[in-house]
Amino acid sequence: MKTKSTLTLDDARAIAAAAEAEALKNAWAVSIAVVDDGGHLLWLQRLDGAAPISAQIAPAKARTAALGRRESKVYEDMINQGRTSFLSAPALEGMLEGGVPIMVQGQCVGAVGVSGVKSSEDAQMARAGIAALGV
């Protein structure tokens, strides 16, 4: 039987705090979501001024990254390159850049999704949050 790391509430807090710090440093109003490896929400916060829809998009991006074990941008790129049939993939709703999986020793333990500014900036904040774990 294999042993696998899991995210704790303290991990989710640390990720969110680092992503929030990156957002505040750049004056970006966003929502930040952290999910476990099954895409289940562990943390969600919407910063002041963030659009209400971002609180729906951020968890969807995170869930997509966790379930797919890859950045949500991969799906966006596939669709933009003409594979529109991928829009029918089950359980993947956040196929936009900004969802980043959290990998520990080659295993996905969760993901971070951010929404509210340009997609590349969303991904930048997600990566900043993950970096706080030091993995």
At 106-135, the pLDDT tens digits run 999 999 999 999 999 999 999 999 999 998
- HSE-up (13 A, CA, CB side) for residue 71: 17
Bridge partners of 41?
Answer: 35
pLDDT at 65 (0 to 100): 98
pLDDT at 108 (0 to 100): 97
Task: Round to whole Å and give the CA distance between 21 and 53.
Answer: 21
pLDDT at 135 (0 to 100): 86
pLDDT at 92 (0 to 100): 86
Query: Which domains occur in the chain, in start order?
Result: 9-131 (3.30.450.150)
* The residue to which tokens 């990156």 are assigned: 22
Cα–Cα nearest to 32, from 17, 15, 44: 44
Q: Please give the DSSP secondary-structure letter assigned to residue 94.
A: -
**64-103, pLDDT tens digit by residue?**
999 999 999 999 999 999 999 988 988 889 999 999 999 9
